[in-house]
Structure 1
Amino acid sequence: MNGPNPANKHPMEGFPQVCFIKNTVKNPNILIGDYTYYDDPEGAEDFERNVLYHYPFIGDKLVIGKFCALAKGVRFIMNGANHKLSGISTYPFQIFGNGWEKVMPEPGDLPYKGDTVVGNDVWIGYDALVMPGVRIGNGAVISSRSVVTADIAPYTIVGGNPARHIRTRLDLGRVRGLEELAW
């Protein structure tokens, strides 16, 4: 069994809506594992449009493991969407320059949730939204239109807004064994 070439953008002949996105992402702060695909008839090669508020000066990363299946409309909100809440205004004056940059908050003053990390073999359904700094464990399933606001344990199925535990996919012994494989 050879399988498809992970360097091929479109592994399914005649189906350009399916794309191994590691071959199309150019942003150095988006890291994608082999065989992870995005399925979108409106432009699977343009996955980066779904990574929102990902400003290079913040430096956060989106890391997606191997063998993940991402449905159309999956979006990742990154740390650039966060606004300082402790001041008298939440408006980000400093990013517009022209003198306003003088009120630039210190890096620790801005809400920063860390990198967003998706494990291996994760299936994220249609129109799901993943918030900044979330960690999704290997083998997890995120149902369509879910809003993931907190970490998801490996081999767990979640859904809703906010996404909540529905059930585990496998028994604990099997999960332990799969986690030991370390992909």
Structure 2
Amino acid sequence: MTIGPDPKAIYPNPSIKEVVYIKNVITRPNILVGDYTYYDDPDHPEEFEQHVTHHYEFLGDKLIIGKFCAIAKGIEFIMNGANHVQKGATTYPFNILANGWEKFTPQLTDLPLKGDTVVGNDVWFGQNVTVLPGVTIGDGAIIGANSLVAKDVPAYAIVGGNPASVIKMRFPLAIRTALSAFAWWNQDINWISTHISELTVERLTLNKINDWQRSSKHA
């Protein structure tokens, strides 16, 4: 029998209505979220999409978030629609104010588009984090509260500040490499449930990751 919350539920714990599984409340086709990733906000967590701003389908950019991410309140993913043309004397967006100015709508090739915003698996966001367009955040990263993420974040890095910079790496390189290769978030949910204490409490070693590989159905 499978144990753990239903990944198709909006509220994984029905007694805590401020936590929702994001995948089950999004409606936009240009937002893709993995199983078990949640948003925690006492004010309408079901409206996660309101925290993804300037996101227009005609631009083609996507917000992609992996599995088992923990996202605290106040998150804002600013997408490429926030960018203005920068080649000329002014960045003022005349076209969006219409009344005859709409004929000066810039071509997509004139906009400084940054591409998709990609968040890996098992990423923890503190409160009031802002992520700028086109950023990639690696697996297992921790984003400190009140950070502005303006550039890519390596896997298993702890970052913070405005703009966010690396404070330290969570593990030595050998362990980071082994964790990335094992990808615990892709294991069978019963395997994950059985190993929760090891995943969360025990000191991590290469031997432990090797043990996981041997015990996993996906090894």
TM range (shorter): over 0.9
Mapping 1:70-89, distance limit 5 Å: 70-89=71-90
Mapping 1:23-62, distance limit 5 Å: 23-62=24-63
CA distance in 2, matches of 1:19, 1:104: 38
CA distance in 2, matches of 1:2, 1:171: 32
Show the counterpart of 1:168. 169
Show the counterpart of 1:2. 3
Structure 2 counterpart SS, 1:49:
helix
CA distance in 2, matches of 1:29, 1:92: 24
Q: Deviation of residue 98 (structure 1)?
A: 4.4
CA distance in 1, matches of 2:41, 2:148: 19
| Per-residue CA distance 1:35-64 (angstroms, 9 max, x = gap) | 000000101111001001112221110000
The percentage of counterpart residues that share the same residue type is 55
CA distance in 1, matches of 2:15, 2:107: 51
**Structure 1 segments of 4+ aligned residues over 6 angstroms from their partners:** none
RMSD in angstroms over aligned alpha carbons? Answer: 1.3
The structure richer in helix per residue is: 2
Structure 1 counterpart SS, 2:47:
helix
CA distance in 2, matches of 1:45, 1:21: 8
Structure 2 counterpart SS, 1:31:
strand
Show the counterpart of 2:179. 178
Greater CA drift, 84-93 or 24-33? 84-93
CA distance in 2, matches of 1:173, 1:4: 32
Aligned residue pair count:
183
CA distance in 1, matches of 2:60, 2:99: 23
Show the counterpart of 2:107. 106
What are the ranges of 5 or more consecutive residues in structure 1 without an aligned counterpart?
Answer: none
Q: Deviation of residue 97 (structure 1)?
A: 4.0
**Is 1:127 the counterpart of 2:128 in the alignment?**
yes
TM-score, normalization by structure 2: 0.80
CA distance in 2, matches of 1:173, 1:2: 32
Greater CA drift, 150-159 or 5-14? 5-14
Q: Aligned letter for 2:143?
A: I
CA distance in 1, matches of 2:52, 2:182: 29
Show the counterpart of 2:95. 94
CA distance in 1, matches of 2:65, 2:5: 19
CA distance in 1, matches of 2:25, 2:44: 11
CA distance in 2, matches of 1:101, 1:42: 36
Larger Rg: 2
Q: Deviation of residue 133 (structure 1)?
A: 0.3
| Per-residue CA distance 1:51-89 (angstroms, 9 max, x = gap) | 011122211100000000000011101001111111122
CA distance in 2, matches of 1:80, 1:20: 26
TM-score, normalization by structure 1: 0.95
Show the counterpart of 1:13. 14
